[in-house]
Amino acid sequence: MVKITYIQPDGRAQTFEVPPGYSVMEGAFKNNVAGIVAECGGSCACGTCQVFVDPAWAERAARPGPLEQSMLEEADVEREHLRLSCQIPVTDALDGLVVRIPTKQR
Amino acid sequence: MSIAAEMMELPQIQGIEPVPAHVPRELVRPFPYILGAKTKAKPHSFIKAIHDGPEVFWAERCFNGVRGAWVPRRAEDLQRIYHDTEHYTSRGFAPFADLVGDTWYFVPAEVDPPMHSLLRAAINPLFTPKRMAALEDKIRVYVRECVASLRGRGSCEFMSEFAFEFPVKVFLELMGLPQSRVKQFLAWEHGLLHEPDIEKIKDATRSVVACLREEIEDRRVNPRDDFITFGLQAEVEGRKFDDNELVGFCFNLFLGGLDTVSSNMAMQILHLAEQPDHQAILRANPAMIPDAIDEMMRSYAAVATSRECIKETKIGGVTVKPGDKVHLATFLAGRDPAAYPNPEEVILDRKARHVSFGYGPHLCIGMHLARREMRIAMEEMLAGLPEFSLEPGVEMSYYLAAVIQPVELRLVWTV
């Protein structure tokens, strides 16, 4: 199991053990983490599962592909490590990952 | 309400396809949401009886007015099928190109993975929330003008004077088409979606394609900041869109952006006209409008799309064979009692998820624009008009397909 911490805009943090093979979005969704909408169910089609990836972890998460990039503003991805959490597969290398949830998803 | 034939006006046409041999006869069930069908009953009142029936059934004529299809009714099954690109293709979900013998297809709606992701990635930049947010002021101006022109009259026919008018204006602007063509585009839209006569659907298809081709050729020489020019400059796999992709991209935008928004908006305003308590709550608490709109999109979902089976599979224990069409009616899923307790009731702050924009990779690409248009319309209707209600003594009727929609919606208020 992989430990992932989800931090709400008000600073409240929740840590869950998420099985490898899930996405970071699914880890949040199955644990009822507020603020992750994921309206399309994880197909990189709605842009409502955004998270800021803690800079220390940004390098270790799989890089965004072209479809994910097209859903986000490039500057946000580069500067603030904004990602779609459905596009980050949970792997053992991400044990301890910290993501922050934005104030709104759309 | 039962699904009695006398509740509906079904168009009489030739060439209805027989039920395939592998479909169990007991699963062939009545289904009122057939191209060209109208009703004077509430259009969503047939759904409860459908949910008392089997999990999936065969409905004759429900694909294009002629061809039958499997109809799953449970939200869970729709979600699964939207995601299942192994057993189902999106190709051929809209009958228009086929009807006139053309080779183009909707882009990106009728494209399967992996090409779908590439095309969607190319088109997504047009629809980012930021880009849509930039339209907010423009949309609000259109809507305010419209509400202001109606206010002093004390009444309106909401469909023709509001619901169609302003989404078309926004659409024409985005496409770089002149506002003088509003009426023409509305007539074509009607021809594509609400005509029982297949020859009229063909005529409308040919007219739209001819118009779009003309505009595409114009943008080749006169590039502008609009969606058609964007389509001409977009690249996929290091090449430009081909002719089929270009026509399909423009046609997809044309069909996706107009009737659907107008229909949902109309059902929402109709609900508020009939439920003054809900109208009062939203007047007093405009911040509740976004959640209320999603709840009404669940309850009064208007759209159905389809898939075609490409590899034998099952829905709720029933075998679906390659070549079978599957009709994904979001209005059934939205009232699935297994997904929503008390599904007939509109609970403004229910905050439930719905599939009225679809689900999975083909989720409506214009969702952010549509939500914005519906929200601004409701905000401005409530802010600009006193309490409105249905004009007394007027019998309403509704189209049941291809999009559920009031034929007319007559509102009155005190001046």
pLDDT of B88: 98
- Chain B contact set for A102 (CB, 8 A): none
φ/ψ bin of B30: left (φ > 0), alpha (ψ from -120 to 50), beta (otherwise): beta
CATH topology of domain A2-100: Ubiquitin-like (UB roll) (3.10.20)
- Beta-sheet pairing, A82-84 with A50-53: antiparallel
Across B12-25, b (16+ Cβ under 10 Å) vs e yields eeeeeeeeeeebee
How is chain A split into domains, by residue range? 2-100
Q: Any bridge partners for residue B304, and if so which?
A: B329
- Determine the number of helices (DSSP H) and then strands (DSSP E) in chain A: 4, 5
User: Residue B70, SS3?
Assistant: strand
**For helices B165-175 and B367-384, angle between their N-to-C axes, nearest 10 degrees:** 140
pLDDT of B30: 93
Q: Scan for tokens 């943090």, then name that residue.
A: A13
Task: Answer yes or no: is pLDDT of A106 > 80.
Answer: no
- Identify which of B226, B201, B206 has the alpha carbon closest to the alpha carbon of residue B216: B226
Q: Scan for tokens 């969503």, then name that residue.
A: B44
Please tell me if residue A58 touches chain B, with a CB cutoff of 8 Å: no
- CB-closest option in A40, A70, A72 to B363: A40
CATH topology of domain B5-386+396-413: Cytochrome p450 (1.10.630)
pLDDT of B320: 98
pLDDT of B325: 97
Please tell me if residue A102 touches chain B, with a CB cutoff of 8 Å: no
Interchain contact, A106 vs B368, CB within 8 Å: yes
What number of CA atoms fall less than 13 Å from residue A72's CA on the CB side?
A: 26
pLDDT of B16: 85
The residues, ordered by sequence, that sit 6+ positions from B378 with a Cβ below 8 Å of its Cβ are B265, B268, B269, B272, B282, B289, B292, B293
pLDDT of A18: 97
Distance CA B227, CA B217 (A): 14
Interchain contact, B121 vs A47, CB within 8 Å: no
pLDDT of B322: 98
**How many angstroms separate the CA of residue B198 from the nearest CA in chain A?**
34
Interchain contact, A41 vs B120, CB within 8 Å: no
Phi, psi of A20 (to 5 degrees): -60, 145
Q: How confident is the model at residue A16 (pLDDT cuts 50, 70, 90)?
A: very high
Question: Which candidate in A40, A69, A71, A82 is best for mutational testing of the B interface (most B CBs within 10 A)?
Answer: A40
pLDDT of B203: 95
How is chain B split into domains, by residue range? 5-386+396-413
Residues of chain B contacting A, Cβ within 8 Å: 79, 82-83, 117-118, 120-122, 124-125, 128-130, 353, 357, 359-363, 365, 367-368, 371
- In degrees, to the nearest 5, what angle opens at C-alpha B304 toward C-alphas B300 and B308? 160
Question: Which candidate in B111, B120, B235, B357 is best for mutational testing of the A interface (most A CBs within 10 A)?
Answer: B120
pLDDT of A79: 72
pLDDT of A62: 83
- CB-closest option in A40, A41, A67 to B121: A67
Q: Any bridge partners for residue B305, and if so which?
A: B328
* Edge-to-edge strands, sheet with B69-72: B56-59, B69-72, B325-329, B304-309, B88-89
Residue B103 burial by Cβ neighbours in a 10 Å radius (0-12, 13-18, 19+): exposed
Phi, psi of B318 (to 5 degrees): -95, 135
Whether B109 contacts B120, CB under 8 Å: no
Phi, psi of B154 (to 5 degrees): 80, 0
B91 token code pair: 């190709």
ipTM of predicted complex:
0.91
DSSP 3-state percent helix, strand, coil across chain A (nearest 5):
30, 25, 45
Distance CA B104, CA B208 (A): 13
For every one of its 415 residues, what pLDDT tens digit does chain B have, with 9 covering 90 and above? Answer: 556 555 667 776 777 889 999 999 999 999 999 988 999 999 999 999 999 999 999 999 988 888 999 999 999 999 999 999 999 999 998 889 998 999 999 999 999 999 999 999 999 999 877 788 888 998 999 999 999 999 999 999 999 999 998 888 888 889 998 889 888 988 998 899 888 788 899 999 999 999 999 999 999 999 999 999 999 999 999 999 999 999 999 999 988 877 899 999 999 999 999 999 999 999 999 999 999 999 999 999 999 999 999 999 999 999 999 999 999 999 999 999 999 999 999 999 999 999 999 999 999 999 999 999 999 999 999 999 999 999 999 999 999 988 999 999 999 999 9
